[in-house]
Amino acid sequence: VSNEIKRSSILKMPVVTVSVVSAETENIVFEDEVMKELCVKAFDTNGDGELSYTEAAAVTDLSKMTLTRRTFKTFNEFQYFTSVKTVPSEYFYNCSSLTSINIPESVTSIGEYTFQDCSGLTSINIPKGVTSIRSNTFYGCSSLTSISIPESVTSIGSSTFSGCSSLTSISMPESVTSIGEGAFSGCS
């Protein structure tokens, strides 16, 4: 048996379709439709009715998104907003339906009253770059059961965890040198 190799012949090959997905075009799948609607309205730059990872990563200022409808339950997709440095004061104030949120590691500042009266919030991560937890940040978060404060935090403001009646565990590093008045009042 001999094999013959034809060097100048053209062979037909089957057509193969390969879908190319990149971070530039891949859209975020939101757990909560209300939050998706709010994010798309504020940050969808290409007008396709979706929010891509690239569009989220380009956001530096949350003030373009107004949280007038407070019926969203989760915002774990917040972790993809990797250029956000500050969560403004009172931003999630009284979002009582909010149960979970993942704050991006890029955040270094969380304003006063930011999560006040988020009574459905059960857990939250505080990014490692945050140096202080300001006054009333988690005031009235009555479903919050535990919180871990990163080593970067040096101060906790007044009434920060006041009214967190379900709080049973807190991990506080030695880096904390200042705790404001009433920081844990009502933590029964």
Q: Report pTM.
A: 0.82
Q: What is the mean pLDDT of the chain?
A: 89
As a whole number, mean pLDDT of residues 155-180 equals: 95
Contact 96, 125 (CB under 8 A): no
Predicted pLDDT of residue 33: 93
pLDDT of residue 123: 86
Distance CA 188, CA 162 (A): 10
Instruction: Report the DSSP beta bridge partners of residue 133.
Output: 156
The share of the chain scoring above pLDDT 70, in percent, equals 85
pLDDT for residue 167 is more than 90: yes
